[in-house]
Chain A
Amino acid sequence: GAVVSQHPSRVICKSGTSVKIECRSLDFQATTMFWYRQFPKQSLMLMATSNEGSKATYEQGVEKDKFLINHASLTLSTLTVTSAHPEDSSFYICSANPGTESSYEQYFGPGTRLTVT
């Protein structure tokens, strides 16, 4: 089946530093990848949609300069949290859509727990 990985699974960083999270589709090419944020005990909120080779589309209220998304290849998208602050601590989940399937066919990664101290 379609597998999506994320690296790292957990990361702790100091306030003011930047951290990069990778999302990879392991056995398929993903023309579109999605980044979600999940606060403790809450639902997932879509942050942005990234298409390979083009700029990401951010949801309203998401700072594009703070959450840099790069989708440089058909199997890799990265989310960089710049100048992280404690309020950025969250669980970040990516999903990927093979361009050959309906847009609702998204395969989710295992998530990355970010803690900013």
Chain B
Amino acid sequence: AQSVTQLGSHVSVSEGALVLLRCNYSSSVPPYLFWYVQYPNQGLQLLLKYTSAATLVKGINGFEAEFKKSETSFHLTKPSAHMSDAAEYFCAVFGNQFYFGTGTSLTVIP
């Protein structure tokens, strides 16, 4: 069975500060892992994905995530937050279907 846990339903950072959104996964098979972003009343936009290639994955808008098997983690980071990064972020694992985390709401303080 697959699942993901996102620690922290709300994260606030100052503009220009480091963004760190945490995701831990549980999977009985080598996982495919994803981060999606959702703006209000919109669908999901793929930020990045890990599909068993390089463990450090670079995505759009300056985001990246590192797959750490020993920690069963796939945390999302961005060196410098921008106001436009304020949104809901979902971590997901794919087995025979997507299993999404409960989401982390990112607030960027000017």
Contact = CB atoms under 8 A, between A and B. Distances in A.
B32 A111 contact: no
A110 B97 contact: no
A44 B90 contact: yes
Interface in B47-100: 49, 51, 90, 94, 96-98, 100
Contacts of A44: 44, 90, 98, 100
Interface residues of B, number: 19
Contacts of B41: 9, 91, 111, 113
Contacts of A102: 51
B44 A108 contact: yes
Given A104-B32, A110-B42, A43 B100 contact: yes
Interface in A68-109: 91, 93, 95, 102-104, 106, 108-109
A93 B98 CA distance: 13
Contact of A42 (B32, B34, B98, B103): B103
A46 interface: yes
A43 B102 contact: yes
A104 B32 CA distance: 8
Nearest to A4: B43
Nearest to B90: A43
A60 B44 CA distance: 23
A91 B103 CA distance: 15
A49 interface: yes
Contacts of B102: 42-43
Contacts of B97: 34, 46, 49
Contacts of A109: 43
Contact of B42 (A45, A104, A111): A111
State the 7 A-B residue pairs at the shortest beta-carbon distance, nearest first.
A104-B94, A108-B44, A43-B100, A108-B43, A110-B43, A111-B43, A43-B102
Interface of B: 32, 34, 36, 41-45, 49, 51, 90, 94, 96-98, 100-103
Interface of A: 4, 6, 9, 34, 41-46, 49, 91, 93, 95, 102-104, 106, 108-111, 113
